[in-house]
């Protein structure tokens, strides 16, 4: 198992995700896949019946949806993402979350999400996007977005300097674009459910890129057998 604790991956323009802890901890020398297998056997940590039999059992568990052993592995992340992402993320109530508060921490001038392109509204899906606007429209809207951010932040600072509380001054900030830092924790079973939904092509881009980062840089390196079974029995069925 690769030790990726402390590894940080950049996401979007100013966001990132970092694995800050997991169970079992890599220093114990017990791979997460083995912890899942041993939980199914109600055995002792570190006891194995060999890679072939261990992997076969893990695949059996996921194929037949015996999911409780997968809850024995947990991931804890520190995530910086714009509110437009968190608005999607909090729908997954199996995550444990604790968020940065704008009541205590003042926002910085660059704490706003600037997309690389403006996506068009999907014709068939009321809550999705598809395609992009033309280059001229994209540039014009981007300029207006930046001006909107600058004006809002200037008013935010003006309110703070006038003695307004941070919890009220933030009303001047463009809400959906503000970056927040969260601590989040989830077990492997519920993380797979999150990934199945948020890796899908019709998932909102601003959360899909975080799901992609979690899967590529953290889930797959630490749980290679589980990731292989997940791709075979879950992702393939979702397509």
Q: What are residue 63's phi and psi, to 5 degrees?
A: -65, -35
Distance of CA 14 to the CA centre of its chain: 14
The CA distances from residue 82 to 85, 130, 158, 206, 210, in Å, are 5, 21, 23, 8, 11
- The single residue of 80, 170, 198, 208 carrying the catalytic annotation is 198
How many whole angstroms separate alpha carbon 46 and alpha carbon 38?
8
Q: What are residue 178's phi and psi, to 5 degrees?
A: -70, 135
Distance of CA 225 to the CA centre of its chain: 21
How many whole angstroms separate alpha carbon 157 and alpha carbon 108?
10
Active-site residue 198, yes or no?
yes
At 58, is the secondary structure helix, strand, or coil? helix
The DSSP code for 52 is H
H-helix or E-strand spanning residue 31: none
Strands annotated E in the chain: 8-11, 15-23, 74-82, 96-99, 119-121, 129-132, 179-187
Residue whose structure tokens are 């001006």: 147
Q: What are residue 199's phi and psi, to 5 degrees?
A: -85, -10
Catalytic sites, residue numbers: 198
């Amino acid at each position: 198992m690769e030790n990726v604790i402390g590894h940080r991956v950049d996401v979007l323009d100013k966001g990132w995700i970092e694995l800050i802890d997991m169970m079992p901890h890599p220093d114990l020398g017990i791979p997460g896949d083995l912890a899942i297998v041993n939980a199914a056997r109600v055995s002792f940590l570190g006891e194995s019946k060999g890679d072939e039999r261990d992997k076969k059992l893990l695949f059996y568990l996921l194929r037949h949806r015996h999911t409780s052993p997968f809850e024995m592995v947990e991931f804890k992340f520190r995530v910086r993402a714009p509110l437009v992402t968190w608005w999607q993320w909090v729908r997954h109530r199996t995550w444990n979350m604790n968020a940065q508060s704008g009541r205590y921490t003042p926002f910085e001038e660059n704490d706003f999400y600037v997309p690389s392109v403006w996506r068009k509204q999907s014709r068939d899906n009321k809550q999705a996007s598809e395609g992009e606007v033309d280059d001229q429209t994209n540039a014009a809207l981007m300029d207006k977005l930046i001006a909107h951010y600058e004006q809002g932040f200037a008013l935010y600072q003006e309110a703070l300097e006038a003695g307004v509380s941070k919890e009220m001054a933030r009303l001047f900030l463009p809400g959906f674009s503000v970056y927040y830092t969260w601590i989040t924790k989830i077990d492997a079973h519920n993380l797979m459910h999150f990934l199945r939904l948020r890796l899908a092509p019709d998932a909102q881009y601003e959360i899909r890129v975080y799901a992609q980062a979690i899967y590529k840089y953290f889930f797959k390196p630490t749980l290679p057998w589980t990731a292989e079974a997940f791709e075979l029995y879950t992702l393939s069925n979702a397509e």
